[in-house]
Amino acid sequence: LGTSDLLVSQVCLGGMTWGSQNDENDASQQLSTAWDFGVNFVDTAEAYPVPLSAETQGRTDRAIAKWMKATKQPRDKVIISTKVCGYSERYTWLRKDGQGTRLTKEQILESVDSSLKRLETDYVDLLVLHWPDRRVELTNPLSGQEETPVAGRSLGVVPFEEQVEALAQLVAEGKIRHWGLSNENSFGVNEFRRAAAEAGLAPPACVQNA
């Protein structure tokens, strides 16, 4: 996978409907079928399933954990990618303090600890920043250039360095093996690579854009 040492199948099974549009039995059948065909890579996120809601949040993770336990899958044979939410003032149920989501060091660490509990594992293979903390317009022709602060964001913008500091700590603690980006532009990728290099952290392994 990208710059990492992870060996993954050409297909990654996405689980964002498990627990809402599909139930746990559907999830188990889909996972087993995928593994029978050689898939070893599954994608989840702390906020899944979609549509996002406080009532269903975390069901995708728990469906994966239940399947792994029921089928006695060796942990090293299941490559798990999960995602931590970027900036949102709407998703107040995801954090203990009841505030919206941000990519602060504190929130990234809290998110991963909660994901590990739901997934019933000691580590995830890939942690992806689901969307940026700052505002990014991927369709804007100027989106690859340096961005100016956006007014009206009550929670502010978290520096790249703080986000990388959290990721480096998680790698050092063995809670994540690699990290990546999602819904990011070229400016952000370059800034994360710079901050990672300064912190002695390996660069992002991949970019997953919609």
Residue 147 has pLDDT above 60, yes or no: no
Q: What is the pLDDT of residue 153?
A: 59
Question: Predicted confidence band at 167 (pLDDT cuts at 50, 70, 90)?
Answer: very high
pLDDT at residue 141 tops 70: no
User: Residues 137-161: what's their mean pLDDT?
Assistant: 64
Active-site residue (options: 48, 87, 91, 123): 48
Instruction: Specify the higher pLDDT residue, 145 or 181.
Output: 181
Q: How would residue 56 be classed by pLDDT, with cut points 50, 70 and 90?
A: very high
Beta bridge partners of 98: none
Q: What band does 25 get if pLDDT is binned at 50, 70 and 90?
A: very high
pTM of the model: 0.93
Q: CB 189: neighbour CB atoms within 10 A?
A: 15
DSSP per-residue letters across 65-80 = HHHHHHHT--GGG-EE
Q: In the numeric block, which tokens belong to residue 10?
A: 């050409």
Catalytic (active site) residue 48? yes
